[in-house]
Amino acid sequence: SGAVPDAANFIEDRVREDLTLGKNGGKVHTRFPPEPNGYLHIGHAKSICLNFGLAEKFQGLCNLRFDDTNPTKEDVEYVDSIQDDVHWLGFDWQKRKFYASDYFTRLYEFAEQLIRDGKAYVCDLSAQEIKTHRGTLTEPGTESPYRGRAPEENLELFRRMRAGEFPDGSRVLRAKIDMASPNLNLRDPVLYRISHAEHHRTGKSWCIYPMYDYAHPLCDALEGITHSICTMEFEDHRPLYDWIIEAVKPGARPEQIEFARLNLSHTVMSKRKLRQLVEEGYVEGWDDPRMPTLSGLRRRGCTPEAIRDFSERIGVAKSNSMVDIAMLEHCIREDLNARAPRVMAVLKPLKVVLDNYPEDKVEWLEAENNPENPDMGSRQLPFSRVLYIEQDDFLENPPKKFFRLSPGREVRLKHAYIIRCLDVIKDEATGEVKELHCTYDPETKSGAAGSGRKVKGTLHWVSAGHAVPAEVRLYDHLFLKENPDDTGEGEDFKTNLNPNSLERLSSCRVEPGLAQARPGSHFQFLRQGYFCLDAKDTGSRGLVFNRTVPLRDTWAK
């Protein structure tokens, strides 16, 4: 549809230009480099779609590379979930799965080479001293007193660092670049640090670990990456990326290209913050359907097709902006509209008795599964004397434009008959409406000859004796503010959490066919929205449905 136009993608233009110029032997090779320290979120999905998408578009390759140089924060649980999520999105790295830790030996050898070439030195300053020596944007830095160490001394010290002779934080290896550079990243950045930590893959083999800025360009080069795509924060690290490649000469010359990270309204997108929500119990886990994680979105009922479409439509830009979450919802709706079968589910049941319908009679009525797609066929729905409709579809004293049911008025029951409300039964103590007595008009069966009579409202319903119970969970934005980081003095993003982001309805009644639904499958509940059968809680708790999105499209076109 043309509702949301495809945005520009300057990276695609750049790749096309490189191919025209015959750069990199006419090849495109990208990578997606997650750090396995949390679950992927929809921001990562944008990067996945971009990197794997470029490879698909230009007959190139895309690697999955775990950026595992931070042993204390990483775990195999995350490695596994990341692989599941990339596959779920519909991309495949085939045999091209790598870990930065695969290259620890090569990276170490490159570091020795830099030391021998006089381009790196062992520095004994503390982290705090290094920071103060670094200077500021307006003040040049101060050279470390260890900067003049001879290559032989540096080599010996570096080898002893590796051998485990020194405690954490006592020494680092630094690049010897320029303490007066206007770019702070070039003021002798740290390349290696000591950390006697166990690594989830290499165990205790290493007690020194390479820094991101050192490891990343070299891993890219070793894998033959042509376009190393990352987010804008790394723009002023690019001179360092290029310096490392130039100094080490690993063979290939990958180029870093930056784009603006995705920010979505009403949610947070940093793994650190998402972890806080999980660990402090604000949500039920990384896969809570309110989370912007791919596992949360999947449980919620979002499809990979909708995410890929969304990612395409928002485009790739250089300047940071906030995308309205309603736009993601729009893409989800558009995808599910075409594929989700329509069913009837009553979330807050109100009993209706048809006084003129025979007690033991059951009729099976034909109901189309998706008016948007006749190929999806139809099903048979049971109709009987006792039904449920939605409590909200009845008002005893309706305002003028209320076209649903009220005393004396008529409505059509979808796929069935026109009914008229005759009597209202209330709880004597509370005055709450308990039950309606109605009559049906046998001449008005949907699809039959006399069905032409028109009434203003059409309601969904289920047959009381046939419907199955279900729990339905309705979700709203996780945060009240568009930008959750917009807080008062001394407050943090959690003060903006929406206290009503989850509503559980536990006495719903759904049409009987849903008892056979496959967990994870998608439905449109007529008049209510798109729902997904929860793959985790369904079973032990009966049927549990998550509302993916309501029907109404609030995205401003």
**Minimum distance from CB of 302 to ligand ATP (Å)?**
17
CB of 231 or CB of 373, closer to ligand ATP: 231
Dist. CA 50–CA 12, nearest whole Å: 9
Which residues pair with residue 419 across a beta bridge? 411, 440
Sign of CA dihedral 520, 524, 525, 530: positive
Active site residue 271: yes
Instruction: Specify whether the CB–CB gap between 515 and 521 falls below 8 A.
Output: no
11 binds ligand ATP (CB under 6 A): no
53 binds ligand ATP (CB under 6 A): no
Dist. CA 542–CA 28, nearest whole Å: 49
Binding site partner of 298, from Mg ion, ligand ATP, none, Cβ cut-off 5-8 A by kind: none
Specify the long-range contacts of residues 14-22, CB closer than 8 Å, at least 24 apart.
14/227, 14/257, 15/54, 15/58, 15/227, 16/58, 18/226, 18/227, 19/58
46: annotated binding-site residue? yes
**Minimum distance from CB of 74 to Mg ion (Å)?**
11
| Among the listed residues 140, 237, 228, the one whose alpha carbon sits nearest the alpha carbon of residue 189 | 237
Binding site partner of 34, from ligand ATP, Mg ion, none, Cβ cut-off 5-8 A by kind: ligand ATP
CB of 35 or CB of 284, closer to Mg ion: 35
CB of 88 or CB of 146, closer to ligand ATP: 88
Active site residue 420: no
CB atoms under 10 Å from CB of 139, counted, come to 9
Q: What is the largest CA-CA distance in the chain?
A: 102
Which residues pair with residue 383 across a beta bridge? 363
Determine the residue with CB nearest ligand ATP: 43
Catalytic residue among 12, 35, 156, 305: 35
**Which residue in the set 15, 34, 266, 440 belongs to the binding site for ligand ATP (CB under 6 A)?**
34
CB of 32 or CB of 417, closer to ligand ATP: 32
114 binds ligand ATP (CB under 6 A): no
| Among the listed residues 387, 341, 333, the one whose alpha carbon sits nearest the alpha carbon of residue 514 | 341
In the range 212-241, which residues lie near ligand ATP by CB under 6 A? 230-231
How far is CA 486 from each of CA 417, 495, 542, rounded to the nearest angstrom?
A: 52, 10, 40
| Among the listed residues 316, 307, 292, the one whose alpha carbon sits nearest the alpha carbon of residue 8 | 316
**Minimum distance from CB of 499 to Mg ion (Å)?**
28
162: annotated binding-site residue? no
**Minimum distance from CB of 45 to ligand ATP (Å)?**
8
233: tokens are 């924060």
User: How many angstroms from the chain centroid is the CA of residue 517?
Assistant: 25
46 binds ligand ATP (CB under 6 A): yes
Instruction: Specify whether the CB–CB gap between 252 and 221 falls below 8 A.
Output: yes
19 binds ligand ATP (CB under 6 A): no
Binding site partner of 230, from Mg ion, ligand ATP, none, Cβ cut-off 5-8 A by kind: ligand ATP
**Minimum distance from CB of 215 to ligand ATP (Å)?**
12
Q: Return the range that interacts with ligand ATP (CB under 6 A); candidates 39-47, 86-94, 331-339, 542-550.
A: 39-47
* H-helix segments, 192-316: 212-222, 238-248, 271-279, 294-300, 304-314
Q: Return the range that interacts with ligand ATP (CB under 6 A); candidates 16-24, 88-96, 264-272, 287-295.
A: 264-272
CB of 141 or CB of 210, closer to ligand ATP: 210
42: tokens are 């929809």
483 binds ligand ATP (CB under 6 A): no
412 binds ligand ATP (CB under 6 A): no
In the range 20-49, which residues lie near Mg ion by CB under 5 A? 35
340: tokens are 């989700």
Catalytic residue among 27, 159, 201, 261: 261
Catalytic residue among 171, 271, 379, 385: 271
Dist. CA 60–CA 368, nearest whole Å: 44
CB of 259 or CB of 417, closer to ligand ATP: 259
Instruction: Specify whether the CB–CB gap between 218 and 106 falls below 8 A.
Output: yes
**Minimum distance from CB of 462 to Mg ion (Å)?**
47
| Among the listed residues 142, 149, 104, the one whose alpha carbon sits nearest the alpha carbon of residue 123 | 149
Length of the chain: 557
**Interstrand relation of 321-323 and 386-390 (parallel, antiparallel or unpaired):** unpaired
CB atoms under 10 Å from CB of 17, counted, come to 10
105: tokens are 């030996």
451 binds ligand ATP (CB under 6 A): no
| Among the listed residues 479, 468, 481, the one whose alpha carbon sits nearest the alpha carbon of residue 545 | 468
Binding site partner of 183, from ligand ATP, Mg ion, none, Cβ cut-off 5-8 A by kind: none
270: annotated binding-site residue? yes
36: annotated binding-site residue? yes
495: annotated binding-site residue? no
133 binds ligand ATP (CB under 6 A): no
Determine the residue with CB nearest Mg ion: 35
**Minimum distance from CB of 264 to Mg ion (Å)?**
17
140: annotated binding-site residue? no
CB of 35 or CB of 235, closer to ligand ATP: 35
Active site residue 95: no
Dist. CA 324–CA 555, nearest whole Å: 8
Using CB under 6 A as the binding criterion, the count of chain residues that bind ligand ATP stands at 15
Instruction: Specify whether the CB–CB gap between 384 and 342 falls below 8 A.
Output: no
Annotated binding site for L-glutamine: 67, 212
* Residues annotated as part of the active site: 35, 261, 271
- Contacts to Mg ion by CB under 5 A: 35
- Contacts to ligand ATP by CB under 6 A: 33-35, 43-44, 46-47, 67, 230-231, 261-262, 269-271
